[in-house]
Chain A
Amino acid sequence: MAKPRILLVDDSVLMRTIIGDIVRSDEELELIGAAENGKVALDMVKSLKPDIVLLDIEMPEMTGLEVMEHLSLISRAKVIIISSVAQIGSAEADEARSLGAVEIIAKPSGTMSLDLAHKKGHDIIVAIRRAAGLPPPAKA
């Protein structure tokens, strides 16, 4: 089976590095690109046809929710929201869900620690794998 192809959308280069590193840590996933705003993301979705889009909500140009409205029409990709705005229960989370986001997770924290994989990075991997129909990662 081909590896699920993942597009990462976040306006912060730091977040792109951190989340990108998390995605790359799983050999069964393929990070095909990273976009710094919604417009670029939509262009990349059209050309790269990702299977999964990791999307931030609070972004300049277009918010993640605006991106989703378009995305849900033009792409078959599953969307996972990675945002600290969209706490479970918030209006943003509800809207993201009704726009078809398969999962909403918080941004990673505590990156500096050695147990990265056990913390938020783990949640991201679990979410991606679930969306891609892969079994959960083996416990480290």
Chain B
Amino acid sequence: MSELIETLWQQFGVESNEHFDAIERLLSPAGADTPERERIASLFRAFHSLKGAARAMDMFGMEKLAHGAETVLGRVRSGTLPFSDEVAEPLLESLDALRALMEAAVGERRDGTPPAAVLAKLDALGDPDRKAAPHPTAPAQSPKPARLHDNDKLLNLFVDLLRDSMATLTRPLDLDTLDSDGLQEVNDASERLEIACERLNFLPFADTFRRFREDVSARDPDAILRDLQAVALASARVGRLSGRDAGTAILATLLADHNAQALSKGAAKALDLMADAATAGDDLAAVLERMGSTLDIVKLPRAASLVRRIADVVRRMAPHSHERWPAVLADARQTIDFIALHATSDPPEDVDTGTAVKLETLLQEFVETADAEEAARRPFTADELRSLGLDAGLLRFLSPESSAALRDAVGDPAIGLYEVTAFLETSAEVASGFAVWLGTKVQAITNWPEFIDGKTWLKVLVSSPQDLETLRNALSTIDPSGRFLDVRHCIPGEASAEQPAEAMPEKPVPTPDLPVPATPRALEATAPQPAAPQTTVPAASPARQTAQPGGVLRVQGETIDRFMARIDSMVLLSGNLNATANDLRLEQAITALSERLGAGDPDVRVLQELLERHRRELLDLDNQLSRSVDRLRESALDLRVVPIETLFNQFPRVVRELARVQGKKIRFDMDGGDVRIDKSMVEMLYDPLMHMVRNGIDHGIESPEDREAAGKPAQATLTLRAVQRNNRVIVEIADDGRGISTEAVRAKAVRNGLIAEEDSRRLAPADIHEFIFASGFSTAEKITETSGRGVGMDVVRNNITRLGGTVTIRTREGLGTAFAIDLPLSAAILRTLLVQVDDQVLAIPDRFVEEVCGFAGHEFHPVSGCWSVLRRNRVLPVVRLADALGFPAQGSWPPSGDGQRLLVVLRHGDRRIGLEIDRLLRRGDLFVRESHPGLAEVPGVGGVSLLNDGRIVIILDGDELYRLACAAQQRAPHDFSDERPKVTLA
């Protein structure tokens, strides 16, 4: 699921950008080269597609905006609104806003609010009551139809044949006067037409003629009429597409009486079926559909559409348990009655608009009510969550069980919903206190991780009858500092974003109302431009061009993931082959054979040698195959890398934004965007980089006045650069700001008690700068909006260290600062075998695993004081993985009986030890995440990671695990009291 969602987000980003670029181009003066009609159609389509994509991703803000633009363009397309600057401008503004919303959506996976001003403009233009100005362009013409068939000559012959055959074809309508010669003629005509249809590949039409002949020979008048009606519809289509008369009119005249008959018959049948709500099912729908086709032929479009509408509702609503259904059905019956009466009169009359609208509205209302009622029983929707004061993103974390829990909580007026934000990785007391509180004092509904300023916070949705104050007090006894736990009341009707948790470091929420459209062009458009020649549309500004997001992942993520999955299954197969090839029984069988044979029949001896040779070849092939599969896997892993541009491109907007807010002038340069890193690292690097970029702007870069006073250009430069060195990547963030004051850092370090005054005097400047990374250190004199939130460079360094990297600093007072992050390109990805012990998923690094094998309980024997099995003629000591790790163990021990026990054979140099596990899950490439400091100290644990389903995996350290297993083997209680023979090593 989450892999798919990743892919969807990437495609959403790529596709949105393609539409943005297209819109940009079409709205720019260059787009005026495109013929007007085509230009409007393309614009309409682009906004329309954006709307659909946004809707699919639950990005309702984008959807709303795109919908507004689409509506405006719809009016332009239909000719009720002229395309002028007045229209183009708000479209450009919505493009800007959509871009910003999309960046926020893809970067932060959250919906945004479209700028109200732009929406209002679009609404005003899209309002159909607005007086339409005369349309300057020619009315829309339908595009030249695509050719109906490659062979014009054959098509023309067919059209002639069809037209000329109509009279003959209708003869079976009067079966009584049809003699055998006449029948022959009818059959010949329809057979010729069938063959022509086959030639032209008009397959359904050919079917119609074949069926027609069958129905004629069966002398079934209803079926014959139905077939001829099908001929009428198809001939109309052929006529329209070929631009020639295919006999439609002749046929309509010939069928007129019969159509009327068919309609009254159909209506009678429909009314009959409608008499009982229970029988009004698919049969009724089919009868109505047929009436619709007949009404099409007699050209009564409103009646046709109405009848089809009823058919739709009948089909959709079956079985009709809804209480309002009989009433709706009664209305529908009246309509059918009405249609039958008027359609069969001479000349036929269509339903009047009033009646049509009335019934349509009724049907629509019914469907909507029924849908809404059904929806009430369904899982939550995004809108519903929002109305409860919850974030729509929560949907991802609502399982059926948690949905049910949430429904229960919502249904009880005495129970309130609360969102708890917790950071549990600092204090063990807070963590354990919190866990107890969660388990006993409140009802936890669901939880999810949230990345805030480089740290993973835990969010928990809980329900409780207590009020906010009580809960807050309880939490403050667990966390007196108030820094790690907070609770928010989710109040129905209030969106979560409107009341961010206090004291919590919040990501900057994009406020599109203010900054988004503030590109120079938006200003340019409103400012008078006396010198510039008047163009249809304002020119695109250079700023927009630099914002071209060319670097969004253009690799088909889904393809790669599927590819990886297939390689994984191939690796498993290769493992199975390995096990089969190495199967001891084969070797034993061959050995036994040769022993039995002795010096016997030489011919049989040859066969036995052949067998033996084959076995060795098999082993050899298996060896080669597994090496080749390994190499394949390694190269496939390379496909998971993406250009670091994907990450970098998220910054220009932030920089622009911060510069604007702080009144600073900044040129933002990016370099080395083509350096490729693992796609999972993009995510991991975002927060540390964002923190440093913010720091640079906040503390490093001076105001334009200060810069000028210092003799520097008013515009500062901030550079984000990536360089690849062998298998490491260095990402540098550099500014030409005021640099770091060594003296200020030194004084602060002394003040904070990090070093004694006299010691500090002896330190080199570079060593003093290192204090910046010390825990809790911050030189900022004021807490600003963007940084100084108590999360310091210490966190950044920790995060990077956990990724296996380093971060260093270079600074010169007055000249600027540069931070360099040095990271391994892919070391953070670990190939592991996932196993399960009790409920916990554990990952054993693949290179420590020799194989996984199963042994029956009775194959375990005590050898030299340890339970062991005989594997490839060698004794393999076995311990329970749970015992080795000191986890609570499941299942009986020692093993006995026929039940299979799974063993992971752990390899450590030349030594092997078997680890008994509860379940084998699969192989998996894990991205090693920062682990809880407390967890990191647990012996045997190398790190943690998350599975796709959100479960936590503990990654075991191979060396440590081997040591623990050996220790467990030593201390295992030597209960060998059962009667199995003890084996001693020879």
- Residues of A near B202 (CB, < 8 A) are 73-74
**Most interface-central of B146, B240, B309 (chain A CB within 10 A):** B146
B793 at the interface (CB under 8 A from A): no
The answer to whether B58 and A110 touch across the interface, beta carbons within 8 angstroms, is yes
B360 touches A111 (CB 8 A): no
Q: Mark interface residues in B300-333 (1 if CB within 8 Å of A CB, else 0).
A: 0100110011001001000000000000000000
Interface segment among A1-9, A27-35, A112-120: the answer is: A112-120
B45 at the interface (CB under 8 A from A): yes
Interface check B378, CB cutoff 8 A = yes
For the complex, what is the distance from the CA of A78 to the CA of B53, rounded to whole Å? 26
> Which one of A39, A73, A99, A111 has the greatest number of beta carbons of chain B within 10 Å?
A73
**Given known A-B contacts A58-B45, A111-B8, A14 and B56 have beta carbons under 8 A apart:** yes
Cβ-defined contact, B45 with A60, below 8 A: yes
Q: Tell whether, in the assembled complex, residue B378 and residue A89 are in contact, meaning their CB atoms are under 8 Å apart.
A: no
Residues of B within 8 A of A130 (CB): 315
Cα distance, A14 to B146, chains bound together (Å): 27
B57 an interface residue at 8 Å Cβ cutoff?
Answer: yes
Q: Tell me whether A84 and B312 are in contact in the complex, defined as CB-CB below 8 angstroms, given that A39-B146, A114-B396 are known contacts.
A: no
Residue B207 interfacial (CB < 8 Å): yes
* Cross-chain contact of A66 among B145, B292, B403 (Cβ < 8 A): B145
Q: Is the CB of B148 within 8 A of A109?
A: no
Nearest residue in B to A18 (C-beta to C-beta)?
B56
At the interface, yes or no: B205 with Cβ under 8 Å from chain A?
yes
Interface residues on B, range: 35 or more
Residues of B within 8 A of A46 (CB): 201
Q: Residues of B contacting A113 with CB < 8 Å?
A: 58, 379-382, 395-396, 398
Beta-carbon nearest neighbor of B42 in chain A = A60
A89-129 interface with B by 8 A CB criterion: 89, 94, 97-99, 104, 107-115, 118-119
Given A66-B145, A66-B146, A88-B364, the answer on whether A115 and B4 have CB atoms closer than 8 Å is: no
A-contact 0/1 string along B392-406, CB 8 Å cutoff: 010111111001000
Given contacts A94-B305, A109-B55, contact A115 B379 (CB under 8 A): yes
CA distance in complex: A58, B49 (Å): 8
| A53-71 residues at the B interface, CB under 8 angstroms | 58-60, 62, 66, 69-70
A17 touches B8 (CB 8 A): yes
> How distant is the Cα of A27 from the Cα of B130 in the complex, in angstroms?
51
Give complex CA distance A111, B367 in Å: 23
A132 adjacent to chain B (CB < 8 Å): no
CA distance A58 to B207 in the complex (A): 30
List chain B residues, Cβ under 8 A from A84: 48, 51-52, 55
Q: Which residues of B contact A12 (CB under 8 A)?
A: 15, 49, 52-53
Q: Does A13 sit at the interface, judged by CB under 8 A?
A: yes
Name the residue of chain A whose CB is nearest to the CB of B360: A89
Residue of B nearest to A21 (CB): B4
Contact B204 A98, beta carbon cutoff 8 Å: no
Complex: A17 Cα to B7 Cα, angstroms: 9
A-B contact count (CB 8 A): 144
Taking CB atoms, residues of chain B closer than 8 Å to A94 are 301, 304-305, 308
Q: Which residues of B contact A97 (CB under 8 A)?
A: 292, 305, 308
B296 proximal to A (CB < 8 A): yes
- A112 in contact with B203 (CB, 8 Å): no
Write the chain A residue with the least CB distance to B12. Answer: A14
Q: Which of B456-484 contact A (CB under 8 A)?
A: none
Q: Residue A44 at the B interface, CB < 8 A? A: no
Are A89 and B309 in contact (CB-based, < 8 A)? yes
Q: Complex Cα distance A72/B12, Å? A: 32
Residue of B nearest to A62 (CB): B146
User: How far in angstroms is the closest Cβ of chain B from A12?
Assistant: 5
**When the two chains form their complex, are residues B148 and A70 in contact, meaning their CB atoms are under 8 A apart?**
yes
Q: How far is the CA of A39 from the CA of B147 in the complex (A)?
A: 11
B870 adjacent to chain A (CB < 8 Å): no
- Please provide the chain B residues from 843 to 874 with a CB less than 8 Å away from any CB of chain A in the complex: none
Q: Given A13-B15, A69-B237: A112 and B58 within 8 A (CB)? A: yes
Given A12-B53, A89-B309, A73:B58 Cβ within 8 A: no
A73 CB contacts on chain B under 8 angstroms: 148, 202, 204-205, 234, 237-238, 241
Q: Are B395 and A114 neighbours in the complex by a CB distance under 8 Å?
A: yes
Judge if B11 is at the interface, Cβ distance under 8 Å.
yes
Q: Which residue of A lies closest to B207 (CB)?
A: A76
* Beta-carbon contact of A11 and B58 below 8 Å: no
Are A75 and B296 in touch, CB under 8 angstroms?
no
Q: Find the B residue at minimum CB distance from A63.
A: B143
Q: Smallest Cβ distance from A44 to chain B, in angstroms?
A: 14
Q: Is B558 an interface residue (CB 8 A)?
A: yes
**A74-B203 contact in complex given A66-B146, A94-B305, A112-B395, C-beta closer than 8 Å:** yes
What residues of chain B lie closer than 8 Å to A38, measured between beta carbons? 146
Known A66-B145, A85-B48, A97-B292: A14·B11 in contact at CB below 8 Å: yes
Which residues does chain A contribute within 8 Å of B52, judged by CB atoms?
12, 15, 84, 107
Partner of B55, one of A58, A85, A88, A107: A107
Q: Is the CB–CB distance between A88 and B312 below 8 Å?
A: yes
Cα distance A60–B184 when bound, in Å?
48
A69 x B301 contact (CB < 8 A): no
Q: Name B413-455 residues within 8 Å CB distance of A.
A: none
Whether the pair B309, A109 counts as a contact (CB closer than 8 A) is: no
**Cβ-closest 3 pairs across A and B:** A113-B395, A115-B379, A14-B11
List 10 additional contacts besides A18-B8, A109-B55, A118-B379; criterion CB under 8 Å.
A12-B53, A14-B56, A39-B146, A73-B241, A76-B204, A88-B309, A94-B304, A108-B56, A113-B395, A114-B398
Q: Chain A: residues with CB nearer than 8 A to chain B?
A: 11-15, 17-18, 21, 38-39, 46, 58-60, 62, 66, 69-70, 72-76, 84-85, 88-89, 94, 97-99, 104, 107-115, 118-119, 130
Can you list 23 A-B pairs with a CB-CB distance of less than 8 A? A12-B15, A13-B11, A13-B14, A14-B8, A14-B53, A17-B8, A62-B146, A70-B148, A75-B204, A76-B204, A84-B51, A89-B309, A89-B360, A108-B56, A109-B58, A112-B393, A113-B382, A113-B395, A113-B398, A115-B380, A118-B378, A119-B378, A119-B381
